[in-house]
Amino acid sequence: MEKAKKISVEQCCVYYSIETSFVQQLDERGLIKLNRIGKKTFIAYEQLGDLEKYIRLHYDLEINMAGLETIRHLLHRVQLLQDEVRRLQTS
Amino acid sequence: MEYIDYYKILGVSKDASADEIKKAYRKLARQHHPDLNPNDKEADKRFQQINEANEVLSDPETRKKYDQYGKDWKHAEQFEQAHQQRQSAGNNPFGSGENPFGGGGYYSSSDDSGDYSDFFASMFGSRGGSRQTKFKGQDTRASLQLNLSQTYTTHKQTFTVNGKNIRITVPAGVENGQEIKLAGFGLPGVNGGPNGDLYITFEIINDTSFTRKGNDLYKTLPLNLYKAIMGGEETIDTLNGKVKLKIAPETQSGTKVRLKGKGIPVYKKEGEFGDLYITWEVQIPTNLTAKEKELFEELSKQR
């Protein structure tokens, strides 16, 4: 199986100029998933899109963690409804 | 190119304080942010306007210039040149694309002013703001319609998304609603960040007489009464040609037979197929002749 590409959380935080505690909190609340290998924590490349979204919402719009959780839930529902509309429009 | 009233966009008065501008921006940005309005082009456009208005009004320097030259923006360069001649020093803040106000924002791009209005670019150069973080471009979603019969074989499909022609291999056995990701085929990244991804959802249209459940296919077929009683053979259509099927004597209506491996190919598992289930529906003859009735009468007496 192909090894998932990943970046360490420290490197990632330097790149985006954010605190590691922010990324850890996202992980604790299940908004992103971090992988621990030994003492180091990594984030998979495929999670970066979600991380960037939460960075924008938190730092640009000042939405707190509880707000991010709520938004994730509602966006998931929007996605399901949009899929349903598309399915109904084509059936 | 029209004059843009940034105060009107943010819904604040011309003498609004920096704090009022910040609050108005946050409130509108939370409503129209693209992350909160997936697949909504109107919200995207509105957010760009709000962002641009905030970039100009949140910086005291740019706000001062906007207030000073705003409505006369077409003459701003001339005013500045005249001003410089008097001063005999300094750079032209409305010069040839050199940005006097620094930084880039969420929508600023590394190449040029593509996400700003012409008005903004003309007055302030191509970029503004303070964030220089590289961001991945937005993901794009598209749907691709396929006929059920097309899912029987792995084949190529060409389509256009975001003005780009994309050719993909559609593996046999793809299901309705299944999504595949094409990394890097989404919208361009911001500030040199990587491109977003393209998600394609397959919509399978059933152009066959079969019903699909997973990889299995189902069909109900009529069966002649005499063949059902005496047994025989029936030729039936499958997705890959005709098949001769033996009918056992005394086959009951509703009998289900399984044709192993005659269903849909299993997704990405070469050589594996689902099954085809045929349900026989025995047809009772109608409009019987007197002779037939007599014979049936005789048969019934045998029981």
- Asked if B208 contacts B151 with a C-beta cutoff of 8 angstroms, the reply is no
Q: Token pair of B67, please?
A: 């207030």
Q: Is the CATH code 2.60.260.20 the one for domain B211-301?
A: yes
What is the rounded distance in angstroms from the CA atom of residue B303 to the CA atom of residue B301?
A: 5
What fold does the segment set B6-124 form as a domain?
Helix Hairpins (1.10.287)
Question: CA of A37, closest CA in chain B: separation in Å?
Answer: 26
Question: CA of A86, closest CA in chain B: separation in Å?
Answer: 9
Considering only alpha carbons, which residue of chain A is nearest residue B37? Answer: A75
- Give the start-to-end residue ranges of the domains of chain A: 6-90
- Give the start-to-end residue ranges of the domains of chain B: 6-124, 140-205, 211-301
Cβ distance A61 to B203 less than 8 Å, yes or no, reads no
Q: Which CATH number fits domain B140-205: 1.10.1300.10, 2.60.260.20, 1.10.1270.20, 3.10.20.30?
A: 2.60.260.20
CA B206 vs CA B15, B153, B214, B266: distances in Å: 63, 15, 13, 17
Cβ distance A62 to B106 less than 8 Å, yes or no, reads no
Question: CA of A61, closest CA in chain B: separation in Å?
Answer: 6
Return the beta strands (E) in chain A as ranges.
Answer: 6-8, 34-37, 40-44
B211-301 has the same fold as B6-124: no
- Asked if B107 contacts B117 with a C-beta cutoff of 8 angstroms, the reply is no
Taking contacts as CB-CB distances below 8 angstroms, the residues of chain A near B32 are: none
Taking contacts as CB-CB distances below 8 angstroms, the residues of chain B near A53 are: 35
Question: CA of A36, closest CA in chain B: separation in Å?
Answer: 24
ipTM, interface predicted TM-score of the complex: 0.76
For the domain spanning A6-90, the CATH number is 1.10.1660.10
Cβ distance A56 to B39 less than 8 Å, yes or no, reads no
pLDDT truncated to tens, each residue of chain B (303 aa)?
678 889 999 999 999 999 999 999 989 998 988 888 888 888 888 988 998 899 889 988 888 888 887 666 556 555 555 555 554 443 433 333 333 223 333 333 333 345 677 777 766 665 544 445 567 777 888 888 999 999 999 999 888 887 778 889 899 999 988 988 888 888 877 767 778 888 889 999 999 999 999 999 999 999 999 999 999 999 999 998 999 999 999 999 999 999 999 999 999 888 899 999 999 999 999 999 999 999 999 999 987
Taking contacts as CB-CB distances below 8 angstroms, the residues of chain B near A82 are: 38-39
Taking contacts as CB-CB distances below 8 angstroms, the residues of chain B near A17 are: 133
